[in-house]
Structure 1
């Protein structure tokens, strides 16, 4: 197949993949959709240059498309989204190089050979492109492997996808700079390899869609009344459709307990399950499941238990302080919630506990 035919085939396949993935409108796939759009624009630019350049790939090498500089950041951000990292305005810094080179691209196309020094600077940027591309892929792959969840089918396939693309980039660089293959043949093979990438992306979308359907079916179940005798059975079957390994649950709970003990984040009164899931880089559902199955409690019961322990430690050191002042410092929003959990943990109310401490201090004071 000639390079022009390969360009057209990949462009058509990219457009088809775009509509297949976009149809499901999943937020998780937004960066992957943008990745497909970027590939399409990149190959459209190359096909345009090839067609109006006497069917020569020489001009493609002289006027490389700046769109390829978006591919690395998009896959990197897709990986961060998968790991539940909080993306802020700082994520836009990943696209700075693209905008700089895009402007250079426009200038070079208009001034051409009139500014050889500027043109050489522009081409020098693209000499470093393989390192730039491979760097983003490597960081993304390492992040995914470090925080991999063996039960997450989407992540497992995403790791394989990133590994495939990274291997492809390395092999292309070796063949290109080692002159192991004819440049036009190498470019054709590399272009056609995007068919495999699109197959990965479509399969990722299917996995995401299956998980979403299971979640929606679970959420749509209406529970009218649950007899007390069925409560234990419900606890045992709640996560039946998403079983996590014992090691994963233990490891997650150890990280959670370490975070609570060392950082004392439970003193933040509006602390949520999502906040902690972002800190330890797992999904809210998996964190909730680990707490339920591994610690046999709920998220809020666990957090309030640590708040009560903090309150007891503080009031033993400073029994003269107002109770309301202390429980707010420990993270409780309301008096009712604090009194409920305190009585549950100690068997007495806070006033009696404080009174007992003051009496003990009075007794042990030297005469």
Structure 2
């Protein structure tokens, strides 16, 4: 009974992975290209998990199938990276250099050094190389997860799309850890860890029924709606009002309030800040607040560093210190000391 339960739980994740892979490839709203990366990511993960499940419960599994399962791992990292990478950076067939070379290498190795005849070589060198490459892509992908981590540290509200990307990233990282340290636990742990797909399904259902822009659409919500030069100039001029009136000093100042004050729409303002300035609206406001804090440090003396954040528009001291360090590379005290010199 225990073996049957273990088989069911470990195989369940793989089955759900195949189902979700097909869903994103065929039925996802608006056929957004990045969803194909997600579909392929889930597919190669599922192939790897199925191989683990059947090998654990049937050690006599065909070596060809083992080779296919191991080879699928070489694409997990690249597809994770390509999915998390912003659409604006995924241009000009960028996927080719992250997919084709690895496919070619693993195919050549599989033909000239098949697993059937070179098991020791695969276990000692190829498999280790595959897991190293997978881990390198996990590190590269951290670049696109780091802003979400910063939001968590600053206790900012996370969008549903942020939670989705974080779930995908942590899920893949956890599976890598399960396989990388399987020698110290159990080989089947990697397959069991894939049941995080169930969690993704729950998120999927929640997001699908939410009012917020779905994760299917958010990456390309500005597609085919390019802002002309005249509109960009108008928004740029309006943004100066935020600085002139120091509206950013209100800790609760947000995109909606800014749009009302500037007499424009949230969509246009967000599009300008994201596409033209290359940052989020919340980060733009942080920059305004840090500039205010720097001026206070340079001109005022009768205040404490603890109150500086509140005087600059931040809602908490920790949020202020984190943002200041990130943007200037110095703490407020270090900046004040360097300026006084």
With normalisation by structure 1, the TM-score equals 0.48
Pairing partner for 2:97 from 93, 96, 108: 93
Pairing partner for 1:12 from 15, 28, 33: 15
Structure 1 unaligned residues grouped into runs of 5+: 220-234, 236-243, 250-272, 295-367
Which residue matches 2:60? 54
2:24 is aligned with 1:23 = no
Structure 2 unaligned residues grouped into runs of 5+: 152-156, 223-237, 239-250, 257-269, 289-341
Deviation at 1:104, TM superposition (A): 2.0
Deviation at 1:7, TM superposition (A): 5.7
Which has more radius of gyration?
Answer: 1
With over 3 angstroms needed to count, the CA separation of the structure-2 counterparts of 1:6 and 1:188, relative to structure 1, is farther
Contact 1:158 1:204 in 2 (8 A): no
Write the distance in 2 (CA, Å) between the matches of 1:209 and 1:88. Answer: 34
Write the distance in 2 (CA, Å) between the matches of 1:48 and 1:248. Answer: 52
Deviation at 1:191, TM superposition (A): 0.2
With over 3 angstroms needed to count, the CA separation of the structure-2 counterparts of 1:202 and 1:89, relative to structure 1, is farther
With over 3 angstroms needed to count, the CA separation of the structure-2 counterparts of 1:187 and 1:127, relative to structure 1, is same
Contact 2:84 2:141 in 1 (8 A): yes
Write the distance in 2 (CA, Å) between the matches of 1:135 and 1:248. Answer: 36
With over 3 angstroms needed to count, the CA separation of the structure-2 counterparts of 1:142 and 1:208, relative to structure 1, is farther
For residues 131-187 of structure 1, the C-alpha deviation after alignment (integer angstroms, 9 at most, x for no partner) is 2222212221232213777553212331243134324423542x33xx433xxxx22
Write the distance in 1 (CA, Å) between the matches of 2:79 and 2:205. Answer: 16
With normalisation by structure 2, the TM-score equals 0.51
Which residue matches 2:190? 190
Which residue matches 1:37? 43
Which residue matches 2:172? 165
With over 3 angstroms needed to count, the CA separation of the structure-2 counterparts of 1:248 and 1:169, relative to structure 1, is farther
Which residue matches 2:159? 152
Write the distance in 1 (CA, Å) between the matches of 2:103 and 2:202. Answer: 26
CA RMSD of aligned residues (A): 4.7
Pairing partner for 1:77 from 77, 82, 99: 82
Write the distance in 2 (CA, Å) between the matches of 1:25 and 1:35. Answer: 18
Q: The residue matched to 2:184 in structure 1 has which SS?
A: coil
Write the distance in 2 (CA, Å) between the matches of 1:33 and 1:62. Answer: 22
Contact 2:178 2:190 in 1 (8 A): no
Q: The residue matched to 2:163 in structure 1 has which SS?
A: helix
Write the distance in 1 (CA, Å) between the matches of 2:276 and 2:78. Answer: 22
With over 3 angstroms needed to count, the CA separation of the structure-2 counterparts of 1:46 and 1:212, relative to structure 1, is same
For residues 90-149 of structure 1, the C-alpha deviation after alignment (integer angstroms, 9 at most, x for no partner) is 33111112331133224444x842xx5x97268512112332222212221232213777
With over 3 angstroms needed to count, the CA separation of the structure-2 counterparts of 1:103 and 1:36, relative to structure 1, is same
